[in-house]
Structure 1
């Protein structure tokens, strides 16, 4: 259903690979796209076991997974990875291999990976309230994210807040 919604449209790729508990290299592939109602979504489209974490092997796995879901590497408009050398290097790394096939697949460093590492480290400190904060945050995100109506309400509230802050000169508009 997800791939049917994206079909013939552009999307971004977020990819990460690591070894699982049995020491097998696994790669997860997430697509980032805009729904018909204008909401940006990120969804896991699959994972792949890769015998070798080389850039060429990772690219083959991505192309294969996209193809199996009737998606094409030609429609990728963004790619994001962590800082691993096999991912973001300039010449023969995953980023470069995909850019050779599709110059419109711009690379963005995946800071979400760094944020996740920080979150895990903070949670391990076992400070009071950290766990509860993330539980509540998850509930809010799920509640708002489940409804286009709620998303539009949140966007409208944000728009009004920005207009108000511009009037107070707390923030500047592009015209200033």
Structure 2
């Protein structure tokens, strides 16, 4: 499971029967690979395991993933220690059109390296500044972190975050005056490229006429709704 999570691979597929060898799910595939190389393991897994200890049930795998997530987050908090950090916040809609907020930490390691770590993702009822500020603070408090230690804040200025940026950065700076705001460099680059592309007839045709129409068509499809 640790290897699957490290590689960002799915654990399950649409057909997970033991005889479905053409597109075997990763968990079952690893089990079968291990059986060939470690005879001792063969004695205690799959058909040789107790009926309630096959380790293949979706709920069991989700429990293992949650444990890995908690241990990873614990290691991040220990790495951060008592140091100061910056926060990177973004909001986007999932396939069900529900808003979810992601929070990253950016800090300097004990080796002097700049580190960015994913801390969590939370569904939010709306994207106004008060909600985003409260959600950010709540997620930090879950890991014994406070806004007083924040020395920087960065948000994606596109879409749902655009109207709330001014207010949320002000709210956080009231509690941590040193939490200086920096606009997302990636979004700045995106805006710059968009302006430059419009000056080129071929690029303007591709991005404005073709891709915009395609994105609007896909976004409005019944499957996404």
Task: Kindly report which structure 2 residues correspond to 1:4-153, keeping only aligned pairs within 5 A, or say none.
Answer: 4-83=78-157, 84-87=162-165, 89=166, 93-115=167-189
Q: Distance in 2 between matches of 1:113 and 1:28?
A: 16
Gap regions ≥5 residues in structure 1:
126-176
**1:21 Cα offset (Å):** 1.0
Which one has a bigger Cα radius of gyration? 2
Q: Distance in 1 between matches of 2:187 and 2:107?
A: 19
Q: What SS class does the counterpart of residue 22 from structure 1 fall into?
A: coil
| Structure number having the greater strand percentage | 1
Aligned length: 118
**1:67 Cα offset (Å):** 0.7
Asked whether the equivalents of residues 15 and 81 of structure 1 are also in contact (C-alpha less than 8 Å), the reply is yes
The higher-RCO structure (CA 8 Å, 6+ apart) is 1
Q: What SS class does the counterpart of residue 4 from structure 1 fall into?
A: helix
Gap regions ≥5 residues in structure 2:
1-74, 198-202, 207-225
